[in-house]
Structure 1
């Protein structure tokens, strides 16, 4: 029978069949060696074929993985030469970020957006904990909103404490399969609990000694939304290494660069020192934000050491 993966806990998976029944499933042995390059051969969101192993124990064996529409992956935290699939078959991803307690760097945001562009997953940026923002943070938000909306991303300002932006996010989630990501401590679980109290996700405050969020979600997990759709909650991500992207390809995943790069004098222009570069000219003319260009250069400089 066909089923969808709702949770992965290493070697066992929670799978829900088309009839609504939930099973504990494991992979048929031979599947593990068939050219799987990720650390996890099956990810949350995957559609699989499985056979019932024991009716009483509600266990099953997964015999086939159906082709993925898309997925989002990151460099494995344990081995930089392998990748880890965060989730698959997505309609969109929501990146939760904060400008205070803890502060999300623009570099992290851009890496996440690059990953979504590379795997064809539309991305939405949710600036959370707005109730903590003072004048400086609000000015920073307005600048970032201007930058990312100009590129084509949806940007929202939200606060659970002030019940701000909750309904907008809820509307975006309706009848979609949505990946929810962000650093630990950005209030993602608190946000989900405010929208859908029935999920009762574990939450934890930012640790005072480091300013970093503490890990609360251990494995990615899918939840059915009461009015249609699914969300996939993910563990808090500290760092996001890019997967299978070469230095030559990087600019393709910046939409504002992608639409102008054919105007560069050289086909293989890296947009650094080359003459008649349309990207650098667009930065000078204010058509591409300086912050995004700096982010591009910074990521480019670190890619050598990643691979």
Structure 2
């Protein structure tokens, strides 16, 4: 029987089979060493083959992993040299960001978008907590919204607390498998609770969040939406470490840079100090946002090419 992975707790997986039933499933040892370098050989969203364990009601053994259509991964929080597959087989990603309490940095947003571009997952940015915006935040929202909209990203504004924009964001989820991500405290759980009041997911109190040693669990969980589709909720991430992306290819995942790459004087241009660089020229003319170029430079500096 084929089944979809809805939850991983490390050694056990909760899967939903073709018959609509949920099973607790274990993995056959062979997959753990069979050329899989991530910290989790099976991820939420994976399609797997299962066989029911004799003499048990609701237990199964995973004996096949169907090749993934796509996936999103990040640097493993516990081991910098390993990657962790956040979720697989997704139609789109929803990045929850906030301009206040807590503030999401543009660097975090851009790292997430680079990963989505690299793995061909359409990304939508949702700025939550709009009810807290004062003049400064309103101006900042207009600025960042203009930057990302201009390069092809959908930007939404929402306040779960004030019930503003929630229905519009919900409508994007219908009949799709959507990965939800963002820092702790940005309102992912509050948003899910507005769709599934019966879940009563714990929400994170920002004022009591030190950010140290918390939320290192990397277990995602998938939920069926009452109106069709599925969402994958991920624990709050403090930083989004890129993996499997080299310095040379980074600019390919900045859409506004990718379309100018062929116009650079050198075909291996890194867009830093080289003469005849079309990307730097576009930044100077205001055609590429300076903040995005700064993000590119910072990410470039953080990539260790010795891993290639």
- TM-score, with structure 1 as normaliser: 0.96
- Kindly report which structure 2 residues correspond to 1:125-204, keeping only aligned pairs within 5 A, or say none: 125-204=125-204
CA distance in 2, matches of 1:225, 1:256: 34
Find runs of 4+ consecutive structure 1 residues off by over 4 angstroms: 211-214
CA distance in 1, matches of 2:209, 2:255: 38
Q: Deviations over 1:52-80 (max 9, x none)?
A: 00454310000000010000000101111
- What is aligned with 1:43? 43
- Kindly report which structure 2 residues correspond to 1:66-77, keeping only aligned pairs within 5 A, or say none: 66-77=66-77
Partners of 2:15 and 2:25 within 8 A in 1:
yes
Structure 1 unaligned residues grouped into runs of 5+: none
- What is aligned with 1:12? 12
Partners of 1:202 and 1:217 within 8 A in 2:
no
In structure 2, the residue corresponding to 1:163 is in which secondary structure?
coil
Deviation at 1:33, TM superposition (A): 1.3
Root-mean-square deviation over aligned CA pairs: 1.8
Deviation at 1:306, TM superposition (A): 9.1
In structure 1, the residue corresponding to 2:206 is in which secondary structure?
coil
> How many residues get paired?
307
Deviation at 1:269, TM superposition (A): 0.3
- TM-score, with structure 2 as normaliser: 0.96
CA distance in 1, matches of 2:262, 2:120: 21
CA distance in 1, matches of 2:233, 2:101: 20
- What is aligned with 2:249? 249
Partners of 1:158 and 1:165 within 8 A in 2:
yes
In structure 2, the residue corresponding to 1:198 is in which secondary structure?
coil
Per the alignment, do residues 11 and 212 of structure 1 end up closer, same or farther by CA in structure 2, a change over 3 Å counting?
A: closer
- What is aligned with 2:107? 107
Per the alignment, do residues 76 and 44 of structure 1 end up closer, same or farther by CA in structure 2, a change over 3 Å counting?
A: same
In structure 1, the residue corresponding to 2:303 is in which secondary structure?
helix
Deviation at 1:259, TM superposition (A): 0.7
CA distance in 2, matches of 1:30, 1:169: 41
Per the alignment, do residues 106 and 11 of structure 1 end up closer, same or farther by CA in structure 2, a change over 3 Å counting?
A: same
Partners of 2:246 and 2:305 within 8 A in 1:
no
